């Protein structure tokens, strides 16, 4: 609240003590000076429900209770603080003083203040992401259409082949012939089905029986897929025939009534409660469901099955409007982001069933006119001036579920406005924060009603600001009805319906409710019998659970937001050279700036226990805590290939030791900073995207970074020793090879020898180790290289081109001394005996020629001088020189087969695999998984473009085109995978071939359903499945 309103006081000095001009205020009242003053007035009006210019205590109490964070005692105290003149009401002047002085939140807890502020904001963030996702999906489809070069004849033949195969599969499952079904007997449902048997043709008693079945069983005893297929297909055909136009002209039944139901969003308990309390749908008790029957809640299928059944039983009993959620682009979003219906249908009945639901959506009406006097629509009015009902009736509403959100066609814009727009108390038309539709003021509503000779507008689409089930605006000409009580299980609002009785028309009655949990419905209501329920008590009883769920969902949203922004956060860490530890205030500022400023990061900091004993947040631990995981063996094989490809790309450079070190340590000071490493890695084709390189660099540095004390203070730059970097980089590769079946084929005895030798190197003091190996190196010079080697070294010495090691008698140049310092490995953290330092010294000691590359002879003779190696065994026998030659050949892994071993091959053989060695590889793999997770909707859309029959599978080559298409439409910094990674992924996801099918298939539906978020701080506990 402080963040929302303190800016108004600071930017405008002090808000005007007079409110903005409205119909309820004196005509000479001054206008607001800026948008923030307008925001204050909008907040005041959320309290002032009756519009009398004062906040009565009952109004104040009702809104504050809807937040769920305040006790009755807290609310009473807060009202007394605001009511400074003790009049029993808070006027505009008292309100702004209460807000801007900070008194409003001074005595609130941080949680309560944050909850209060968030309530005063419009609920639109989730649905705004729909525009971005829908645009991306459309672009992917356009790309696939453009790049699919097959002829129409070839495409038709391929579709026919797929259709024939799928028909055989359906026939084996007993799902064919649905379009011919006309009676229950011909449905072909066997005795093994124990669920509800719906009479066909559907009767009123049959529809009632289905409702009672859901009342008792919910989704635990689902309707047979053949019934679902029949109901969706029959409804679509019947509704189109009964209501062919987008506008339904309807009368209130005489005698009888019309009951308008707002958003229900998959909340079956609310629909069952409404049908029980208001009576079942009949010709004289007609229902109008005003859109948004699906998404967010888990029971959209069951709600539609009931409504379709009642409509088929009597076509005059129900009218169904389309909302912004009867839309396949919205359905594709996760339930937490406003969607979820496609996931629900896929889980229950499959893709073919969902496509029948989308056909049903296309048949649904856009709006209705009751008795030529009342206009009912899901969202609101349009941006088009002078819009008439007759013009709406010319819209083609059956070709798509909804127009493209960025459509330029006027009729498409009107279509979108009807299902997306919201009213505002400020006159005029404004851009909506939802990203689509508009915000329309009182003048727009008045003009529309006058031009079309209407009394008022009924709409739905949003939770009323005061937590009730209805809201009246625009001098009573705009009435919002919202029927999903305790919306999403954490809002704490009431639901309501609006009843138009023919005896009292156009007067209406609003009936509020607060539905009990579905599991309690049959007990509280009794099957088929209305029950009297104290809704205030019902709400009070559920407040504690509502508050707990609200907190849980908010933390979950924060986790998903962090995961979604991980590439940005890692890039920021690399670009800014940030330290690994960060103050809490800096961390909260970073989260607000790069993730989402509206989320309660202070609460997250407490709940997650992020701060260490020094009160610092460790960035690498925080960014690695929640990971996206794909529960798929095939995908794990892909990740192994992708990680190995990176290391092999560097190792294939086959550089000598000095070049390898100098490539990263440009100034020769023995250490590298995070930005230097990132720039060098970018020079090579490592098969990584820009964000993956950021992740790899940042993760390696987080393992072994140190502050350069010479540069000291808070601004110290991250530095690490170059050999430590190469050591950690090698561990990435080794850990990926440890996966079953991964890496080059090495004999078990060779692996055992390498491990034993590595342990000897680590356990032997450095001076003793190097002395013995240097002795062998001098012998190699004499015995194997002879005069030619000595002559070559003398020539290089005279020219001052290279440094001679002390053992070989070379005189070091100034630059060579820098390199010697770089590889010496002497530091405060381990000295010459540290693992990284030893590896460099051992390699140099073996390198008799000083060329930075080990010949096989140098390698073998050097190993034979390591103390204790004569006690090792190889392949059930002594470790002889011949066996060591075989070991050398096995680790010459750069593919050149040239009988030499470079420094990275040496590290690969002997670098110890620490307990945390998998962290970097896992981090890189998680970056790949995360970008797939972020693009999963676009991937599904692309696969469904090819999967016309809804089998959930596509050809491997089609999957390749889809991933290339998604990559193509993303902006370059967001590119999710490289071409090589795409190829690895498709190859890994291929299904094994069977005898009846020689094609390579990919089960894309199974792949996209394997995502889950794990909390590594809680032993990989599953936070959420998708």
Tens of pLDDT, residues 981-994: 888 888 888 876 55
User: Which tops the pLDDT comparison, 371 or 784?
Assistant: 371
Say how far apart CA 804 and CA 807 lie, in whole Å: 8
Q: What does the pLDDT read at residue 540?
A: 63
Q: Is a pLDDT exceeding 60 seen at residue 788?
A: no
Q: Is a pLDDT exceeding 60 seen at residue 326?
A: yes
Q: What does the pLDDT read at residue 881?
A: 85
pLDDT tens for residues 872-886?
888 778 888 888 888
Burial of 539 (0-12, 13-18, 19+ CB in 10 A): buried
Averaged pLDDT for residues 662-674: 67
Cα–Cα nearest to 734, from 841, 647, 621, 635: 647
Close Cβ partners of 705 (under 8 Å, ≥ 6 residues apart): 580, 674, 718, 719, 720
DSSP for 626-649, written as a single string: EEEEE--HHHHHHHHHHHHHHHHH
Residue 325: active-site member: yes
Q: What does the pLDDT read at residue 860?
A: 85
Q: How does strand 900-901 pair with strand 54-56?
A: unpaired
User: Which tops the pLDDT comparison, 167 or 927?
Assistant: 927
Cα–Cα nearest to 456, from 474, 473, 478: 478
CA-CA-CA-CA torsion sign (211, 500, 425, 321): positive
Angle at 736 (CA atoms; ends 731, 738), nearest 5 degrees: 95
Q: What does the pLDDT read at residue 825?
A: 40
398-402: list long-range contacts, CB under 8 Å, 24+ apart. Answer: 398/240, 398/362, 398/363, 399/362, 400/362, 401/322, 401/326, 401/327, 401/328, 401/329, 401/358, 401/361, 401/362, 402/322, 402/324, 402/326, 402/327, 402/328, 402/329, 402/330
User: Which tops the pLDDT comparison, 79 or 122?
Assistant: 79
Averaged pLDDT for residues 205-221: 92
Q: How does strand 718-721 pair with strand 706-707?
A: antiparallel
> What mean pLDDT value characterizes the chain?
76
Q: What does the pLDDT read at residue 348?
A: 93
Q: How confident is the model at residue 3 (pLDDT cuts 50, 70, 90)?
A: very low
Q: Is a pLDDT exceeding 50 seen at residue 289?
A: yes
CA distances from 144 to 130, 152, 427, 742, 782 (A): 21, 14, 45, 34, 66
End-to-end CA distance of the chain: 33
Say how far apart CA 511 and CA 260 lie, in whole Å: 10
| Catalytic member of 325, 397, 629, 955 | 325
Q: How confident is the model at residue 577 (pLDDT cuts 50, 70, 90)?
A: low
Cα–Cα nearest to 83, from 71, 95, 70, 72: 95
Say how far apart CA 391 and CA 384 lie, in whole Å: 11
Cα–Cα nearest to 926, from 514, 625, 576: 625
Q: What does the pLDDT read at residue 295?
A: 93
To 10 degrees, what angle do helices 835-846 and 903-910 make? 130
Q: Is a pLDDT exceeding 80 seen at residue 421?
A: yes
pTM for the model stands at 0.66
Q: What does the pLDDT read at residue 108?
A: 54
Q: What does the pLDDT read at residue 998?
A: 60
Averaged pLDDT for residues 15-34: 43
Alpha carbon 807 to its chain's center = 59
Say how far apart CA 120 and CA 466 lie, in whole Å: 9
Q: What does the pLDDT read at residue 918?
A: 46
Q: Is a pLDDT exceeding 60 seen at residue 314?
A: yes
Q: What does the pLDDT read at residue 725?
A: 62
Averaged pLDDT for residues 607-624: 87
Say how far apart CA 79 and CA 87 lie, in whole Å: 11
Q: Is-contact 954 666, C-beta < 8 A?
A: no
Averaged pLDDT for residues 545-570: 81
Averaged pLDDT for residues 490-518: 92
Q: Is-contact 118 598, C-beta < 8 A?
A: yes
Q: Is a pLDDT exceeding 90 seen at residue 237?
A: yes
Q: Is a pLDDT exceeding 60 seen at residue 445?
A: yes
């Amino acid at each position: 609240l402080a963040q929302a309103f303190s800016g108004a006081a600071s930017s405008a000095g002090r808000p005007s003590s007079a409110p903005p001009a409205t119909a309820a205020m004196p005509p000479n009242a001054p206008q607001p000076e800026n948008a923030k003053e307008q925001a204050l007035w909008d907040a005041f009006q959320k309290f002032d429900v009756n519009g009398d210019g004062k906040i009565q205590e009952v109004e104040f109490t009702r809104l504050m209770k809807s937040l769920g964070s305040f006790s009755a005692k807290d609310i009473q105290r807060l009202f007394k603080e605001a009511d400074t003149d003790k009049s029993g009401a808070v006027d505009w002047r008292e309100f702004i003083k209460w807000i801007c002085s900070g008194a409003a939140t001074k005595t609130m807890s941080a949680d309560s203040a944050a909850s209060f502020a968030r309530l005063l904001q419009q609920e639109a963030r989730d649905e705004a992401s729909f525009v971005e996702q829908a645009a991306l999906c459309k672009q992917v489809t356009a790309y696939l259409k453009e790049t699919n070069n097959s002829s129409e004849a070839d495409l038709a033949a391929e579709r026919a082949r797929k259709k024939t195969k799928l028909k055989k599969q359906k026939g084996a499952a007993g799902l064919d012939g649905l379009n011919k079904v006309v009676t229950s007997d011909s449905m072909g449902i066997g005795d093994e089905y124990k669920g509800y048997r719906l009479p066909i043709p559907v009767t009123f008693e049959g529809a009632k029986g289905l409702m009672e079945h859901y009342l008792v069983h919910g989704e635990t005893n689902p309707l047979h897929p053949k019934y679902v297929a029949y109901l969706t297909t029959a409804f679509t055909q019947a509704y189109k025939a009964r209501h062919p136009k987008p506008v339904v002209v309807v009368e209130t039944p005489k005698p009888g009534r019309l009951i308008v139901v707002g958003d229900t969003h998959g909340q079956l308990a609310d629909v069952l409660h409404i049908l029980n309390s208001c009576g079942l749908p009949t010709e004289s008790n007609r229902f109008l469901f005003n859109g948004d029957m699906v998404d967010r809640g888990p029971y959209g299928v069951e709600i539609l099955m009931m409504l379709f059944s009642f409509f088929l039983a009597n076509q005059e009993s129900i009218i169904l409007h389309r909302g912004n959620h009867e839309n396949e682009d919205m359905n594709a979003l996760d339930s937490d982001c406003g969607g979820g219906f496609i996931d629900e249908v896929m889980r229950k009945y499959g893709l073919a069933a969902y496509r029948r639901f989308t056909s049903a959506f296309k048949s649904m009406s856009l709006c209705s006119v009751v008795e030529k006097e009342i206009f009912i629509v899901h969202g609101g009015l349009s941006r088009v001036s002078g819009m008439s009902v007759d013009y709406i009736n010319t819209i083609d509403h059956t070709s798509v579920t909804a127009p493209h959100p960025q459509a330029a066609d006027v009729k498409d814009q009107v279509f979108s406005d009807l299902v997306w727009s919201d009213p505002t108390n400020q006159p005029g038309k404004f851009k909506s924060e939802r990203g689509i539709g508009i915000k329309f003021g009182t003048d727009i509503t008045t003009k529309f009603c006058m031009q079309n000779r209407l009394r008022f507008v009924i709409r739905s689409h949003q939770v009323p600001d005061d937590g009730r089930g209805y809201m009246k605006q625009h001098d009573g000409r705009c009435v919002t009805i919202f029927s999903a009580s305790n919306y999403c299980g954490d809002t704490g609002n009431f639901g309501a319906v609006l009843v138009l009785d023919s005896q009292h028309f156009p007067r209406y009655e609003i009936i509020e409710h607060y539905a009990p949990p579905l599991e309690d419905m049959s007990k509280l209501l009794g099957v088929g019998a209305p029950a009297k329920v104290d809704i205030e008590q019902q709400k009070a009883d559920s407040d504690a659970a509502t508050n707990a769920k609200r907190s849980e969902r908010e933390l979950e949203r924060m986790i998903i937001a962090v995961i979604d922004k991980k590439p940005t956060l890692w890039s920021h860490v690399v670009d800014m050279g940030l330290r690994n530890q960060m103050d809490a205030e800096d961390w909260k500022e970073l989260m607000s700036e790069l993730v989402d400023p509206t989320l309660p990061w202070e609460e997250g900091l407490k709940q997650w226990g992020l701060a260490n004993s020094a009160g610092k947040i460790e960035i690498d631990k925080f960014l690695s805590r929640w990971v996206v995981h794909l529960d798929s063996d095939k995908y794990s094989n892909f990740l192994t290939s992708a990680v190995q490809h990176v290391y092999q790309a560097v190792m294939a450079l086959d550089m000598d030791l000095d070049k390898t070190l100098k490539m990263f340590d440009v100034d020769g000071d023995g250490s590298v900073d995070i930005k230097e490493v990132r720039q060098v890695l970018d020079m090579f084709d490592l098969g990584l995207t820009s964000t993956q390189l950021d992740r790899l660099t940042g993760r390696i540095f987080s393992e072994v970074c140190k502050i350069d004390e010479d540069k000291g203070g808070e601004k110290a730059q991250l530095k690490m020793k170059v050999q430590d970097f190469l050591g950690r980089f090698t561990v990435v590769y080794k850990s990926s090879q440890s996966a079953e079946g991964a890496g080059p084929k090495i004999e078990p005895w060779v692996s055992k020898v390498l491990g034993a030798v590595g342990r000897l190197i680590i356990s032997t003091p450095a001076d003793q180790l190097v002395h013995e190996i240097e002795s062998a190196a001098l012998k190699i010079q004499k015995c194997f290289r002879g005069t030619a080697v000595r002559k070559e070294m003398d020539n290089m010495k005279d020219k001052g081109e290279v440094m001679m090691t002390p053992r070989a008698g070379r005189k070091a140049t100034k630059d060579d001394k820098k390199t010697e310092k770089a590889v010496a490995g002497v530091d405060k953290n381990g000295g010459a005996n540290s693992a990284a330092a030893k590896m460099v010294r051992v390699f140099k000691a073996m390198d008799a020629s000083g060329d930075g590359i080990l010949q096989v002879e140098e390698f073998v003779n050097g190993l034979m001088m390591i103390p204790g190696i004569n006690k090792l065994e190889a392949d059930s026998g002594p470790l002889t020189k011949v066996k060591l030659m075989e070991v050398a050949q096995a680790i010459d892994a750069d593919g050149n087969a040239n009988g030499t071993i470079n420094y990275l091959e040496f590290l690969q053989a002997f670098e110890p695999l620490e307990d945390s060695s998998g962290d970097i590889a896992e981090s890189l793999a998680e970056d790949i998984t995360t970008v797939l997770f972020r693009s999963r909707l676009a991937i599904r859309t692309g696969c469904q473009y090819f999967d016309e029959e809804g089998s959930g599978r596509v050809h491997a080559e089609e999957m390749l085109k889809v991933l290339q298409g998604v990559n193509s439409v993303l902006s370059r910094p967001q590119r999710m995978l490289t071409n090589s990674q795409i190829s690895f992924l498709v190859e890994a996801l291929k299904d094994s071939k069977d005898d009846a099918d020689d094609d390579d298939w990919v089960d894309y539906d199974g792949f996209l359903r394997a995502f889950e978020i794990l909390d590594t701080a809680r032993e990989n506990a599953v936070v959420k499945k998708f």
